[in-house]
C-alpha cells in the first residue's frame, strides 16, 4: 500500500545495488528549448526528483541548465538518460563512451543514476560489445545502474544470457491497452512480470498516449467511470494504475498545472475490482475469435466464455 503521507520525491523503488529511484518522475520526450527548461524547473519546484531524457531527445543541455538553476542538490535528483545511436546501429560500439561523455557535459553532471540502451536494436556479438561498454561505465563509477528501454522478453533473455552486470531497470510502454510491449509478442509471460521476477525495476511511459489506437486511454469509458468515482482526472487514474502494479511513471507535461496534476497520485487508491477492469482493457484490443490475448492478461470481460459460444470459423464463413 502506498502511504498517503509520503511525499512525491520520497516514494521510491529500490534498484538492485541499492540505488533508490523516485517512483513518480518527469518525462521529457518532445520537450525542447525553453519549454523543456521551464517544465523541468517546475517539476523540481513541485517536488519531483526523477528526470528522464535521452540522447535522441536533443534536450539534455536544457535539462542540465534547469537542474543547475533549480538549486536542488544533484545528489537529491535521480537522473536517467539513454544511449540511442549506438544501440540502434547508427554508430559503432566504439563511440559509446564519446557519446556518453557528451551527454554528461550537456547535463552538467559527473554521473547519471541510470544509463540505458534506448531500444533493442543491435543483436548478437554487437549487442555483447555494446553492453560491455556500458559495463565499463558502471565499473568506472560514472553510472550508478544500467538499464534498457523498449526490450521485450526475448531481448531481455538474450542480454541476460551474457551480461556480467545485469540490467537493473527496464523502461517500456505501459498503458491499459499496451501493458509492457508496443507489439504483442508470442511470449506466455508479460515483459513486466519477467522483469520484476528477475529483480528489475520497471518504469512505464505513455500511460495516456493514444498511439497506436484511435481511442485515447483518457477517453475510455471504463477509465472515465473510475475517474468520476474517485473525483480524479483520467490521467491520475491511469498513472495510479501503473503504480499499483509496481511500475514507476514518468508523465510528461509542459504546463505547471499539468505537472502538479500528474504528481498527485499518492492520496487515493484504486480498488481490486477497478484494477481488474483496467487490466482487462488490453484484451479488448488484442483478442481474436481464436484466443483471449494477451495470454497473461485478466479476462475481465469474459471474452473466453463468449468465444466458446461462437460457432467454428468455417461455419461462420458459410453463414
Which residues are catalytically annotated? 57
How would you list the strands of the sheet with 78-83, edge to edge? Answer: 26-27, 50-52, 78-83, 114-117, 146-149, 169-173, 201-205, 247-249
- What DSSP state is assigned to residue 209? -
In angstroms, the CA 243 to CA 50 distance is 15
Write down the H helix ranges in the chain: 33-45, 60-70, 96-107, 124-139, 153-162, 191-197, 221-230, 234-244, 256-263, 272-279, 281-286, 303-309, 313-318
What is d(CA 107, CA 121) in angstroms, rounded to the nearest whole number? Answer: 25
Q: Under DSSP, is residue 188 helix (H, G, I), strand (E, B) or coil?
A: coil
- Three-state secondary structure of 21-57: EECECEECCCCCHHHHHHHHHHHHHCCCCEEECCHHH
What is the secondary structure of 51-78 as a DSSP string?
Answer: EE--GGGT-HHHHHHHHHHH---GGG-E
Phi, psi at 216, each rounded to 5°: -65, 140
Q: Contact at 8 Å (CB) between 150 and 161?
A: no
Angle at 201 between CA 75 and CA 74, to 5 degrees: 10
Amino acid at each position: 500500500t502506498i502511504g498517503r503521507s509520503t511525499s512525491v520525491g520520497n516514494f521510491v523503488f529500490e534498484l538492485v545495488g541499492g540505488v533508490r529511484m523516485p517512483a513518480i518522475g518527469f518525462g521529457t520526450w518532445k520537450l525542447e528549448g525553453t519549454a523543456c527548461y521551464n517544465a523541468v524547473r517546475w517539476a523540481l519546484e513541485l517536488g519531483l526528483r526523477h528526470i528522464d531524457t535521452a540522447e535522441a531527445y536533443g534536450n539534455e543541455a536544457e535539462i542540465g541548465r534547469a537542474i543547475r538553476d533549480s538549486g536542488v542538490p544533484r545528489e537529491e535528483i535521480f537522473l536517467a538518460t539513454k544511449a540511442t545511436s549506438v544501440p540502434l546501429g547508427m554508430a559503432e560500439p566504439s563511440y559509446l563512451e564519446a557519446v556518453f561523455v557528451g551527454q554528461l557535459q550537456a547535463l552538467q553532471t559527473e554521473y547519471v543514476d541510470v544509463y540505458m540502451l534506448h531500444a533493442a536494436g543491435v543483436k548478437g556479438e554487437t549487442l555483447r560489445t555494446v553492453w560491455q561498454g556500458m559495463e565499463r561505465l558502471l565499473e568506472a563509477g560514472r553510472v550508478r545502474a544500467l538499464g534498457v528501454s523498449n526490450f521485450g522478453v526475448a531481448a531481455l533473455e538474450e542480454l541476460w544470457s551474457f551480461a556480467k552486470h545485469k540490467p537493473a531497470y527496464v523502461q517500456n510502454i505501459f498503458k491499459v491497452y499496451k501493458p509492457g510491449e508496443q507489439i504483442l509478442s508470442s511470449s506466455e509471460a508479460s515483459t513486466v512480470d519477467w522483469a520484476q521476477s528477475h529483480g528489475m525495476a520497471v518504469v512505464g511511459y505513455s500511460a495516456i498516449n493514444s498511439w497506436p489506437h484511435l481511442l485515447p486511454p483518457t477517453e475510455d469509458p471504463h477509465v472515465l467511470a473510475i475517474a468520476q468515482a474517485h473525483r480524479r482526472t483520467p490521467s491520475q487514474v491511469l498513472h495510479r494504475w501503473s503504480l499499483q502494479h509496481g511500475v514507476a511513471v514518468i508523465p510528461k507535461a509542459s504546463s505547471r498545472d499539468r505537472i502538479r496534476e500528474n504528481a498527485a497520485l499518492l492520496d487515493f487508491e484504486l480498488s481490486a475490482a477497478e484494477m481488474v477492469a483496467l487490466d482487462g482493457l488490453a484484451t479488448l484490443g488484442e483478442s481474436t475469435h481464436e484466443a483471449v490475448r494477451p495470454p497473461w492478461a485478466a479476462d475481465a470481460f469474459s471474452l473466453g466464455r463468449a468465444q466458446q459460444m461462437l460457432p467454428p470459423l468455417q461455419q461462420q464463413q458459410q453463414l
